[in-house]
Amino acid sequence: MPGARVTRGIQIKTPDQVRLMRRAGLVVAEGLAAMGAVAVPGATTADLDAAGASVLKAAGARSSFLGYGAGWGYPPYPGVACISVNDVIVHGIPGPLALHDGDIVSVDFGAIVEGWHGDAARTFVVGTGTSPEVAALIETTRLACWAGVAAVRAGAHIGDVSYAVQRAVRAPGNPRYGIVMGYTGHGIGSDMHQPPDVPNQGRPRTGPRIVRGMCLAIEPMVTLGSPVVAEDDDGWTVRTADRSWAAHWENTVAVVDGGLWVLTEPDGGAAELAARGVPYAPLA
């Protein structure tokens, strides 16, 4: 990408580049909302993907996911979203699978605007509700994502973010959830996956230092049981080995002058950052 500056392997974005990523992030937010609305009993995972595709089309955006992996030994990814139901943690391929009342569906979606990516995920409950245990799993995963986001600041280390995610999952009183390793958050910019990896467990003051202009996708994957994964033979679908249910929550956050801008949230993160005393600093 011409004009992109890289420091110690990490792409540093200009304010104009972050503004393009905000446009991509808003498309992602819109797509997730549309797919969440389609996630009712009887809908197929292909129906959700189609809703994501129409949002991309209407916005004039491209998909970060479609065709991903082609050329390096994976079957090219066949959808615009990953739709992962119940015990599927991530990378569920959209298809004829129908959703049922009480299922949970993790929807992971990416968009490209003028070459710049946004990436986010939400876990939705299908229909009238789910058990208190599953609801708590989803809420813990959402809070862990926000704890990670709130630990991002210029001068902190990636390990501080990882530690914050881990601590939120391990909050006092929580069940012994599994934290999936081997799939991590990541830098994001002119590619969907860039350095640095952002693991969901780690030690404070370790790893690369965060500076202004970095953009990170923070994405805890949490299970009700074992964190050990098993891949289906489609080359993509990742499930829990013990078939326990899993949740996934992801946002793309930019480190900007004076604070953070959560590019994949409609409000830019204003509410959740304020609740955590973290400066919200959208670019004009």
Binding site for Co ion (CB under 5 A): 119, 217
Phi, psi for residue 146 in degrees, rounded to 5: -70, -35
Q: Which is nearer to ligand MF3, 234 or 257 (CB)?
A: 234
HSE of 188 in the Cβ direction (CA atoms, 13 Å)?
34
Q: Residues 115 to 154: which contact ligand MF3 by CB under 6 A?
A: 119
Applying CB under 6 A, which of residues 13, 26, 77, 107 lies at the interface with ligand MF3? 77
Q: Residues 155 to 194: which contact ligand MF3 by CB under 6 A?
A: 186
Q: Residues 42 to 71: which contact ligand MF3 by CB under 6 A?
A: 65, 68-69
Least spacing, CB of residue 12 vs Co ion, in Å: 19
Q: List strand residue ranges (DSSP E) for 80-175, in order.
A: 81-85, 88-90, 104-113, 116-125
Classify 105 in phi/psi space as left (phi over 0), alpha (psi -120 to 50) or beta: beta
Applying CB under 6 A, which of residues 94, 110, 118, 268 lies at the interface with ligand MF3? 110
The residue count of the chain comes to 284
Least spacing, CB of residue 279 vs Co ion, in Å: 24
What are the angstrom distances between the C-alpha of 46 and each of 14, 35, 42, 51, 85?
37, 10, 11, 9, 12
Least spacing, CB of residue 191 vs Co ion, in Å: 11
Please work out the total of residues on this chain that contact ligand MF3, with binding judged by CB under 6 A.
13
Task: Let me know: does 245 contact 227? Beta carbons within 8 Å.
Answer: no
- List contacts with ligand MF3 (CB under 6 A): 65, 68-69, 77, 82, 91, 108, 110, 119, 186, 217, 219, 250
